[in-house]
Amino acid sequence: MAYAGSYRDGYPPPAPVAIKILIAGGFGAGKTTLVGSVTEIRPLRTEEDLSAPGTHVDLTDGVEEKTTTTVAMDFGRITIRDDLVVYLFGTPGQKRFWFMWDELALGALGAVVLADTRRLADSFPSVDYFERQGTPFIVAVNCFDGAKHFPTDAVRAALNLDPVVPVILCDARRFASCRDVLVNLVEHAIHLLSGSPGNLTSSSA
């Protein structure tokens, strides 16, 4: 019986192509939740308890049930095909851990900036970072229960986004919603890369 991954065409089999995607955004926007919703492996998490001394910086308004925060990264994996794997890296949301972003961003195809409309300003550092780096990104508004819903155009305007940057609504707790977010990002990145002069994919097929 031939299983996927069997050595049919010689040995060793080609290494799968890996796509790296970052999940960024402000404190408590739902990054760890999103990675956990779509990963096929048990997610690697680096959660630590929110401490009493940190209560004046780690404002949990709207996410009062939140008791932990990511201190390094989240990690998840999705196998699309035998030869195509997506690796997800969730960034830490708090400013004191931003020094890790450069390492995490290395080699990423693109990024999702997860936004909570109750604290939209917390999205600015991620948006600024990816704009500066030239990393393709989309903004995914995580629609928290009880939070006022805004049209995507209002979010786009508030974040002063380039018109080409997709803005979509999502629920970080739902697999299908998170999958749609990732598909949207990959399509956006491919679109941008195929338009880049000198890129391998720029020739019209």
Q: Enumerate binding residues for ligand GTP (CB under 6 A).
A: 25, 27-33, 63, 65-66, 69-70, 92-94, 142, 144-145, 171-173
Closer to ligand GTP at the Cβ: 30 or 110? 30
Smallest distance, ligand GTP to C-beta of residue 178, A: 10
Contact between 126 and Mg ion by CB under 5 A: the answer reads no
Q: Kind and range of the H or E element at 115? A: strand 110-115
Q: Which range binds Mg ion by CB under 5 A, 62-70, 99-107, 134-142, 177-185?
A: 62-70
Structure letter (DSSP) for residue 52:
G
Q: Which residues contact 160 (CB under 8 A, 6 or more apart)?
A: none
* Interface with Mg ion (CB under 5 A), residue from 31, 39, 78, 143: 31
Closer to ligand GTP at the Cβ: 86 or 114? 114
Nearest to 160 by CA among 110, 121, 119: 121
Strand ranges of the sheet holding 110-115, from the earlier edge strand across to the other edge? 74-81, 84-90, 17-25, 110-115, 137-142, 167-170
Rounded to a whole number of angstroms, the distance between the first and last alpha carbons of the chain is 37
Contact between 39 and Mg ion by CB under 5 A: the answer reads no
Contact between 70 and Mg ion by CB under 5 A: the answer reads yes
Binding site for Mg ion (CB under 5 A): 31-32, 70
